[in-house]
Amino acid sequence: MQKTYMAKKEDAGVTFRRDWVVVDATDQPLGRLASKLAVVLQGKHKPTYTPFFDVGDYVIVVNADRVRLTGKKWDQKMHYRHSGYVGHLTATPYREVQKRHPEVPIRLAVRRMLPKNELGRRMLRKLKIYPGPDHPHAAQTPTELAL
């Protein structure tokens, strides 16, 4: 009988390695893009996936300012922030958030699809988002990930 593989800390550089992938967000729907990015960050696309161990790849997202929202979500979907003071909840439409910080909608969508613990925060650090087509990670020789 064959046992299910479970990654161990000792296997970190031997059994699995972290690859770098580039994803072009041009005209990609935000939710569908985020769910695919979350799968790659967690390592669920690999046979070495282990739920309690970070075996995912690094993900570089380019053209984040060209991501797409369907319908009227650019004006109706809100980004909420709270200062900590009573009555200081601010709501900003995603259209304004996209203009000021194009990486925020993608980062929030992916973060909400990752585990809500230290492991999920560690996975989120492997996500690199850039508003334009250029990124400074050419030395890692990333491969193109087709979505």
Domain ranges of the chain: 19-69+98-144
CATH number of 19-69+98-144: 3.90.1180.10
Give the strands of the sheet with 143-144, arranged side by side. Answer: 127-129, 58-62, 20-24, 143-144
**Distance in angstroms (rounded) separating the CA atoms of residues 15 and 78:** 43
- Going by pLDDT thresholds of 50, 70 and 90, the confidence category of residue 125 is very high
The whole-model pTM stands at: 0.91
Rounded distance, CA 139 to CA 142, Å?
8
Distance CA 30, CA 125 (A): 19
Mean of the per-residue pLDDT values for the chain? 93
Mean pLDDT, rounded, for 46-71: 93
Q: Which residue has the tokens 């970070």?
A: 54
